[in-house]
């Protein structure tokens, strides 16, 4: 039986952006081993822009090649790279004024050690073996260390930039969530009774948001593991990024006996969709203690019921009047 652990999750957003008439050719250039800038009056801007940064006038979309050599205008030595950085070992971020350009480009210099980097030093571009049409296709090295590269251009122009954002979130379960989680492992459902209103919230957020009152362990109360369906929806899954469901399923709100707030988003799989209804009395059938798992329990919303409860089944009692349950839909 896994115990109570910190919350740890990765939040991902896959972004796809169109590149437009300037960034598209710029990224295409990187894939093909060239760095391009845009003309702006008598200056050359790199990275290139669609618009004059001073006047906002549209710029010529005919780009000019700059580099591959350049001069460091300012820099920092990154002692502890993040997972998002271009290198997993210490490196320099630098503002690099490429030969032929008038504005510096922010990029990474793989220089080995911080004392190898200085303002005014010469660097040169190196292209990665695998290139996708992204700013990360290139990096820089001290000019003397640059190797000649034979780069085969790609075929289609780059029109989409893909960027998968992945953020790690990790934090302890909040104290009231730890007690709730322990309750689930013990086969009990814990809520909290508001000292201000007397209402019982399940699972509790640790406060009464109606009365703006914080709650403590002294406010913990146990509620029943049975109740009435107060609302539900049948979800037909759409195959978006990350979707794991393929068949329609029920998500229900259940007002547990002794609670003043329904538990929501409860996954119901074993009661036929056409028999499910508001007012139906249901009860939890718990998993065996050794099989209960609260690893999915986070600090927000919901109770991770699926980790501890095997299924919900009808009690066979008469239905509750659905009308008062309207107050407990969500």
Q: Which spans of this chain sit near another protein (rule: CB under 8 A)?
A: 7, 9, 11, 15, 17, 19, 23, 26-27, 45-47, 49, 53, 73-80, 82-86, 93-95, 103-108, 114, 119, 134-136, 161, 163, 165, 167-172, 174-175, 205-207, 209-212, 214, 299-300
Residue whose CB is less far from another protein, 161 or 283: 161
Residue whose CB is less far from another protein, 41 or 53: 53
Closest separation in Å from C-beta 237 to another protein: 19
Q: What is the C-alpha separation between 292 and 270, in angstroms, rounded?
A: 19
Task: Specify the residue for token string 């200056």.
Answer: 43
- Judge whether 39 and 64 are in contact, CB under 8 Å: yes
Closest separation in Å from C-beta 73 to another protein: 8
Beta-strand (E) ranges in the chain?
A: 7-18, 35-40, 43-45, 64-66, 69-78, 91-98, 105-109, 122-127, 138-142, 160-171, 189-193, 200-201, 207-208, 213-214, 220-223, 226-235, 249-256, 263-268, 281-286, 309-314
Q: What is the C-alpha separation between 140 and 110, in angstroms, rounded?
A: 6
Closest separation in Å from C-beta 312 to another protein: 26
Closest separation in Å from C-beta 18 to another protein: 10
Residue whose CB is less far from another protein, 99 or 310: 99
Closest separation in Å from C-beta 263 to another protein: 17
Largest Cα–Cα distance in the chain?
Answer: 84
Residue whose CB is less far from another protein, 120 or 272: 120
Residue whose CB is less far from another protein, 214 or 317: 214
Q: Are strands 35-40 and 122-127 parallel, antiparallel or unpaired?
A: unpaired
- Judge whether 68 and 138 are in contact, CB under 8 Å: no
């Amino acid at each position: 039986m896994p115990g109570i652990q910190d919350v740890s999750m990765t939040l991902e957003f896959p972004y796809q952006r169109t590149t437009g008439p300037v960034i598209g050719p710029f990224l295409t250039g990187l894939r093909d081993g060239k760095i391009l800038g845009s003309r702006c009056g008598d200056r050359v801007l790199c990275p290139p822009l669609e618009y004059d940064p001073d006047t906002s006038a549209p710029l010529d979309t005919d780009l000019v090649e700059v580099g591959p050599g350049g001069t460091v205008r300012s820099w920092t030595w990154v002692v502890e790279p993040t997972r998002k950085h271009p290198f997993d070992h210490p490196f320099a971020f630098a503002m690099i004024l490429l030969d032929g350009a008038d504005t510096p480009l922010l990029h990474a210099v793989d220089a080995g050690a911080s004392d190898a980097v200085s303002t005014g030093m010469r660097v040169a571009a190196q292209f990665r073996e695998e290139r996708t049409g992204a700013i990360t296709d290139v990096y820089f090295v001290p000019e003397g260390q640059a190797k000649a590269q034979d780069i085969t251009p790609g075929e289609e122009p780059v029109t989409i930039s893909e960027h998968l954002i992945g953020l790690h979130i990790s934090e302890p379960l909040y104290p009231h969530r730890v007690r709730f989680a322990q309750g689930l492992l013990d086969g009990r459902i814990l809520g909290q009774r508001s000292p201000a209103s007397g209402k019982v919230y399940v699972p509790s957020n640790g406060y009464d948001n109606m009365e703006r009152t914080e709650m403590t362990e002294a406010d913990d109360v146990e509620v029943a593991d049975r109740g009435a369906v107060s609302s539900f929806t049948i979800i037909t899954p759409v195959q978006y990024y990350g979707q794991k469901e393929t068949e329609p399923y029920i998500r229900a709100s259940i007002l547990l006996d002794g609670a003043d707030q329904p538990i929501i988003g409860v996954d119901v799989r074993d009661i036929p969709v056409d028999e499910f209804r508001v007012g139906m009395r249901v009860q939890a059938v718990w998993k065996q203690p050794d099989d209960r798992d609260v690893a999915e329990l986070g600090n927000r919303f919901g109770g991770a019921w699926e980790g501890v409860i095997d299924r919900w089944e009808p009690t066979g009692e008469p239905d509750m009047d659905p009308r008062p349950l309207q107050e407990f839909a969500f």
